[in-house]
Amino acid sequence: MAADPVEVPCEPFEQIGQDQETPTLVGAEESEAETEVIHQNVVHLGVEYQNDIGLWQNITNEMQDFWCTRDPNECQHFECDFSASSRQYDDSKRFFSQSMFFRKHISGGKIKREWLMYSPSTGKVYCFPCILFGEAQNRSHFQTGFSDWKNALHRIQSHENNATHRVCVQTLISRRRIHGRIDTSLEITFNKEREYWKKVLERIVSVIKFLSSRGLAFRGDNEILGSQHNGNYLGILELIAEYDPFLSSHLAKYGNEGKGKQSYLSATICEELIEILGNKVLKYIVNEIIEAKYFSISVDSTPDISHTDQLTVVLRYVTSNGEVAECFLKFLLIQNHKGEELATEILNFLSQYNIDVRNLRGQSYDNASNMSGCYNGLQAHIKRINHLAHYVPCAAHSLNLVGVRAAESCVGAISFFGFVQALYNFFSASTHRWAIMLKHLEKGDERKQDSSLVLKRVSDTRWCARADATKALANGYNSFQKALQSIAGDETQTSQAIHEAKCLLNDLGKNENAVMAVFWAAILDRINGVSISLQKKTIELRTAVDLLKSLLDFLISQRELFDDYETKANEKTDTQYSDENQRVRKRKRHHDDGAAEEVVFRGKEKLKVDTYLPVLDMLCTELSRRLEAYREINNLFGFLTDFSTKSDAEIRQACTKFKEHYFEDIEPEFIDEMVQYKYFILQLEDAGKKIMPAEESYKLIIVNVAAARKPARSASEIPRSHLTKTTLCETDSHSACICVVAPASSSRRRPFTAASRVGASHASAQRSATTMLPLLLAVVTAVHAFPREPDFTVVLHANVTSTRRSVVVAFQGEDTDIIKDSERDAFYLDEQRLKSAVAAYSGRRPEHAFVHSPTPWGDLYVSYGWEQVSRTVYARRAFAHVLDSETVLVANQTYENTNPEPIAASARISVIVGDTVIHAWSSKRFFDVRREIQYRLRLEGENPAHSVELVYTRAFNETEARVERVEVEASFSTSWSAPGGRGIVTQLWARRNRVRVRCEYEARLQGRVAVNFAAKYKDHYFWGIPIDKLLERNGMNNLFEGTELLEVCFYSDFKVTAIDATSGTVLVDD
């Protein structure tokens, strides 16, 4: 039975570079020489094989095996005389040409047709895979020989896209893989004996590479061998000379010879070598970028030792073997920080090295306005030139700004970090005090458990330092108290020290600081862990987004854990809240005050309301806002990372959207290739040639600018006599560029790709990062999720005023039930699909497949104790934000003063308004969830008297709007003068607020599918297959997502005005 045709790419062999020129036809003399080469046949195991494909007769298995091991170029005859291909047409004579060996890619490059072979004996072209593995019955023209040069381009292109041709290509690749005949790059090593000066240069270059790769200084105070102040360069040469007789003799013969003597030891030759090596590495990297074509850019500026501002340029690209490279190129001197000037400098730099800005696919900078501004920022100017250069803000810097905003969100947070800094300043100001602190930490075992848990300075920029500071305080809280008590009771201390110790001891005795220490230690530890992961050079956008989402989920879950933090704080020390023993001040009551008592928060409630919740709200709000910058681009590229789990329809939809966006880079066959790539990713070696531009564009997206930080360097690297702005910048560029050379000995293939230590901050982040962090974040987030309750609840607290917009939402609940037949469509679990999935899973199609009871044969679920397939719908998360808030006119009432004289008047307006909640669902085909959703909405403005509480329940997927009619009234606080004989218009105004809430649901399946086979399968008729494994194995979806959108409209802050109906004059505005 013939196999179904399978589409595979038509170029399974090595791709020719774009810069290869197409040679012209050879002359007669060259033709003879070439003919001699042509007829040099190949002899293998005593069998002679023709390298002229036109002379092949019967294709045997031995012949197929032989040519699977050979390079097809041996019989392609790429540079032979094509005169035998002459064909006479009515209008002219036509020949085969070398240009037909290539096809033009949509991006402008050339790809060689490795399958196309020319026969000098017949003057025709043939298809190499089809000759070897094609069907003998239905032979195409490319099996018998093609020579219609007038229609050659169309016919060749049609053949390489033919399904039969692609099946032959797949067979060729499979045969190569089976016999272990995949071509591999050969390592050629040359071990030639060096001449004297080459040996000297070998050692000097090694020292230069070593110092450059570690950012160490080169020169010292002098250049005298034997001096202790001659710097690292000469010092390391002296060290090597102790174990290297050759270098030792060279230093003895040529050292300290002075000027005019050739020694290769002077500062001049050292700088020349740095420049040569730097230019060589830069040229290598530029060539790689040009070959890769697509790239992304990351820049950052910093002043150097000469107070000159330099712009660090780092480019990210994908190499020919699919590896992501992120390399430093150069420092650029800048005189102006405006976005337009920065864009000009970068464009000039790219133009200087022939790097086409039209191939730029991504930008990543920090959040400074001159970089990220949407109108005049650097990214905006670049996007005006190339709209495909997507801007992604530095994720690590964005996360840092989230922490900054939270630490400045309230007085309590500012006071706490001020206290931590004061505690550090006190102990670090004296070595004696520091020793006392260490002694008490050792007694308390805190320092034994972790030697780093000593007080740290509160940094303004490095949030990892704040994480260490709060962690040290939280773990050693009791020890710090004892240390301060020891100092406060020491009469040998100065009065100032004793006073400061008592003040700090008093602050440590406040429960507010103990709770905040435990709280901030937990929060900052999590933020710091995510920040370290975000600074990895190889991190991809989706991983960054997932990390930030998991951090947001963790922060949301902390709202209800205040009591836990308080309990942990009480376990560490016996403290109390500062206002517990204070008398409550009572505010003087006025005659127009209401009867309600004034609400005064104290102790625990005050800390929670004034500090704990505002900090969490600010963290969640800022993190949600900054996550939006990554959602659009992540949605565009997301299918590239999980396409193997998507259905064909989903892949086609995502690919269509992607192709429309990158229409200049993606070929028309991209969609079909991507569907095929899903099924042949593990079998096909060359299945992704048309997919590569898409994958490269995604890998090019830079998530952080850590690598764009300037390498930490000291002024002594450059001879002091040359310490000028220009020299410093240029030498820094070359030396920093050389730093990617040092790891060459550990990399056999690419000696210049290890640029991970360009930035000192990046290097420290790499040393601290752990590969288990994303998994740990996911586990902890799940542990701290909202507790599951039987009913779904949506709790919203909105407070909208003229100066503040605070919206907090909580969402929880789940429902588990045996899946109903009406719900199976959501997971595409109709009977035929289910049977096909079981057939793919087990290799045999079942007679029946069931997902729940009852079943025949005594009910399989009951007989074997299998779990029926059930679906669980659970609340995933919720977001809320204020859409708008504006003052509107609610009601008008007109009065008339019939008295000709002015009178003292007052008015009161009463009206009924409707606070509404509109519900909308993302899918009308939601699950049959029996549990109801309970909504608890508290809506407030500036005046607490006008607050509204809505509490109601409704079923899933119910869209009827909820309207709560409320009677409101407002009156003038004082009487006013109404003009005689005129009409008075009184108006009721209110603030109308609209809040949007997004609630996300998820549903998953668990249990077993009960199946029976007509004949025994592995000795059994009946099988219970886990539904999750069945769906996963077949690439089917086990996740259904639903969304409910609530739009809440409510009125607050009512007031009245009075207007003269005749003149329009406002009489009173109360």
Write out the H or E segment, with its range, that includes residue 986: strand 983-1006
Query: What's the CA gap between 367 and 392, in Å, rounded?
Result: 10
- Identify whether 633 is part of a domain: no
What confidence score (pLDDT) does residue 181 get? 42
In the structure, what pLDDT confidence band is assigned to residue 926 with cuts at 50, 70 and 90? low
Q: Are residues 370 and 310 in the same domain?
A: yes
Dump pLDDT digits (tens) for 741-774. Answer: 433 333 333 332 222 222 333 333 332 332 222 2
What confidence score (pLDDT) does residue 117 get? 92
Among 178, 204, 237, identify where a domain stops. 178
> Where do the H-state alpha helices sit in 827-880?
831-842, 856-864
In the structure, what pLDDT confidence band is assigned to residue 787 with cuts at 50, 70 and 90? very low
- Spacing of C-alpha 896 from chain mean position: 68
Dump pLDDT digits (tens) for 707-726. Answer: 554 443 333 333 333 333 33
Q: Where are the beta strands (DSSP E) in 89-201?
A: 93-94, 102-104, 110-112, 116-119, 124-127
H, E, C per residue of 423-446: HHHHHHCCHHHHHHHHHHHHHCCH
What confidence score (pLDDT) does residue 127 get? 92
**Hey, what are 52's tokens?**
């002229």
Q: Are residues 124 and 235 in the same domain?
A: no
Is residue 717 a contact partner of residue 731, using CB atoms and an 8 Å limit? Answer: yes
Dump pLDDT digits (tens) for 473-511. Answer: 888 888 888 888 888 888 888 889 889 888 988 888 888
End-to-end CA distance of the chain: 90
For residue 242, pLDDT over 70 is answered with yes
Q: Are residues 437 and 302 in the same domain?
A: no
Q: Are residues 391 and 424 in the same domain?
A: no
In the structure, what pLDDT confidence band is assigned to residue 77 with cuts at 50, 70 and 90? confident
Query: What's the CA gap between 793 and 791, in Å, rounded?
Result: 6
* Domain that residue 893 falls in: 793-814+871-1010+1027-1069
Query: What's the CA gap between 699 and 392, in Å, rounded?
Result: 13
The mean pLDDT of 101-123, rounded to a whole number, is: 84
Q: Are residues 623 and 493 in the same domain?
A: yes
For residue 690, pLDDT over 60 is answered with no
The mean pLDDT of 450-475, rounded to a whole number, is: 72
For residue 788, pLDDT over 50 is answered with no
What confidence score (pLDDT) does residue 31 get? 34
Is residue 212 a contact partner of residue 273, using CB atoms and an 8 Å limit? Answer: no
845 Rama class: left (phi>0) / alpha (psi -120 to 50) / beta: beta
Would you call 1015 helix, strand, or coil by DSSP?
strand
Among 270, 290, 316, identify where a domain stops. 270
What's the alpha-carbon Rg for the chain, to the nearest Å? 38
The mean pLDDT of 120-140, rounded to a whole number, is: 87
Is residue 284 a contact partner of residue 276, using CB atoms and an 8 Å limit? Answer: no
Averaging pLDDT over each range in 298-312, 535-549, 766-780, 1022-1036, which range is the top one?
1022-1036
For residue 689, pLDDT over 70 is answered with no
- Identify whether 443 is part of a domain: yes
Of 453 and 1057, more confident: 1057
Averaging pLDDT over each range in 429-438, 790-799, 937-946, which range is the top one?
429-438
- Spacing of C-alpha 742 from chain mean position: 29
Q: Are residues 247 and 333 in the same domain?
A: no
Dump pLDDT digits (tens) for 928-947. Answer: 777 788 888 888 888 776 78
What CATH number has the domain bearing residue 933?
2.170.15
What confidence score (pLDDT) does residue 5 get? 33
For 290-321, give the DSSP string.
HHH--EEEEEEEEE-TTS-EEEEEEEEEE-TT
Can you name the residues that pair with 798 across neighbouring β-strands? 807, 939
H, E, C per residue of 629-646: HHHHHHHHHCHHHHHHHC
Is residue 901 a contact partner of residue 961, using CB atoms and an 8 Å limit? Answer: no
- Residue 716 phi, psi dihedral angles, 5° rounding: -75, -5
Query: What's the CA gap between 1011 and 1013, in Å, rounded?
Result: 7
Q: Which of 536, 18, 547, 542 is nearest to 326 (CA)?
A: 536
Query: What's the CA gap between 566 and 571, in Å, rounded?
Result: 9
Can you name the residues that pair with 87 across neighbouring β-strands? 94
Q: Are residues 419 and 323 in the same domain?
A: no
Any idea what DSSP says for residue 824? G
Single-letter amino acid code for the residue at 866? W
- Identify whether 4 is part of a domain: no
Angle at 795 between CA 784 and CA 963, to 5 degrees: 160
Residue 775: how many other CB atoms lie within 10 Å: 10
For residue 1036, pLDDT over 50 is answered with yes
Is residue 646 a contact partner of residue 639, using CB atoms and an 8 Å limit? Answer: yes
- Identify whether 920 is part of a domain: yes
Would you call 1040 helix, strand, or coil by DSSP?
strand
The mean pLDDT of 349-378, rounded to a whole number, is: 83
Residues with Cβ within 8 Å of residue 848, at least 6 apart in sequence = 855, 856, 1011, 1012
What confidence score (pLDDT) does residue 124 get? 92
Determine which of 217-231, 717-731, 950-964 has the lowest per-residue pLDDT on average.
717-731
- The overall average pLDDT reported for the chain is 74
What confidence score (pLDDT) does residue 184 get? 36
Of 121 and 703, more confident: 121
- Residue 809 phi, psi dihedral angles, 5° rounding: -135, 140
In the structure, what pLDDT confidence band is assigned to residue 270 with cuts at 50, 70 and 90? confident
- Identify whether 292 is part of a domain: yes
- Identify whether 782 is part of a domain: no
Q: Are residues 350 and 325 in the same domain?
A: yes
Is residue 222 a contact partner of residue 230, using CB atoms and an 8 Å limit? Answer: yes
In the structure, what pLDDT confidence band is assigned to residue 892 with cuts at 50, 70 and 90? confident
Residues with Cβ within 8 Å of residue 764, at least 6 apart in sequence = none
Q: Are residues 509 and 478 in the same domain?
A: yes
For residue 569, pLDDT over 60 is answered with yes
Residues with Cβ within 8 Å of residue 461, at least 6 apart in sequence = 400
Q: Are residues 371 and 481 in the same domain?
A: no
**Hey, what are 1003's tokens?**
């549903």
The mean pLDDT of 316-345, rounded to a whole number, is: 83
What confidence score (pLDDT) does residue 783 get? 27
Query: What's the CA gap between 124 and 145, in Å, rounded?
Result: 5
Residues with Cβ within 8 Å of residue 354, at least 6 apart in sequence = 286, 290
Dump pLDDT digits (tens) for 524-547. Answer: 888 888 888 888 777 777 788 888
Is residue 1057 a contact partner of residue 987, using CB atoms and an 8 Å limit? Answer: yes
Is residue 419 a contact partner of residue 513, using CB atoms and an 8 Å limit? Answer: yes
Determine which of 192-201, 204-213, 442-451, 574-583 has the lowest per-residue pLDDT on average.
442-451
Q: Which of 289, 300, 294 is nearest to 353 (CA)?
A: 289
Of 862 and 779, more confident: 862
Can you name the residues that pair with 317 across neighbouring β-strands? 295, 325
- Identify whether 298 is part of a domain: yes
For 703-735, give the DSSP string.
---GGGSPPP--GGGS-GGG--HHHHHHHHHHH
Residue 966: exposed, middle, or buried by beta-carbon count in 10 A (0-12, 13-18, 19+)?
middle
Is residue 455 a contact partner of residue 473, using CB atoms and an 8 Å limit? Answer: yes
Any idea what DSSP says for residue 898? -
H, E, C per residue of 2-43: CCCCCCCCCCCCCCCCCCCCCCCCCCHHHHHHHHHHHCCCEE
Would you call 585 helix, strand, or coil by DSSP?
coil
The mean pLDDT of 323-331, rounded to a whole number, is: 84
Is residue 623 a contact partner of residue 552, using CB atoms and an 8 Å limit? Answer: yes
Dump pLDDT digits (tens) for 306-316. Answer: 777 888 888 88
Q: Are residues 543 and 666 in the same domain?
A: no
For residue 648, pLDDT over 80 is answered with no
Taking the complete model, does pTM exceed 0.75, yes or no?
Answer: no
The mean pLDDT of 94-119, rounded to a whole number, is: 84
- Identify whether 506 is part of a domain: yes
What confidence score (pLDDT) does residue 312 get? 86
What confidence score (pLDDT) does residue 118 get? 92
- Please give the share of the chain, as a percent, with pLDDT higher than 70: 76
Residues with Cβ within 8 Å of residue 712, at least 6 apart in sequence = 215, 760
What confidence score (pLDDT) does residue 113 get? 87
Single-letter amino acid code for the residue at 949? E
Averaging pLDDT over each range in 662-671, 974-983, 1003-1012, 1015-1024, which range is the top one?
1003-1012
What is the number of domains present in the chain? 6
Is residue 144 a contact partner of residue 159, using CB atoms and an 8 Å limit? Answer: no
In the structure, what pLDDT confidence band is assigned to residue 21 with cuts at 50, 70 and 90? very low
For residue 731, pLDDT over 70 is answered with no
Any idea what DSSP says for residue 909? E
CA atoms in the 13 A half-sphere facing the CB of 191: 1
Can you name the residues that pair with 871 across neighbouring β-strands? 817, 1005
- Spacing of C-alpha 70 from chain mean position: 43
Q: Are residues 643 and 499 in the same domain?
A: no
Is residue 786 a contact partner of residue 891, using CB atoms and an 8 Å limit? Answer: no
Among 270, 293, 319, identify where a domain stops. 270
Query: What's the CA gap between 721 and 713, in Å, rounded?
Result: 17
Locus of tokens 């600081």: 513
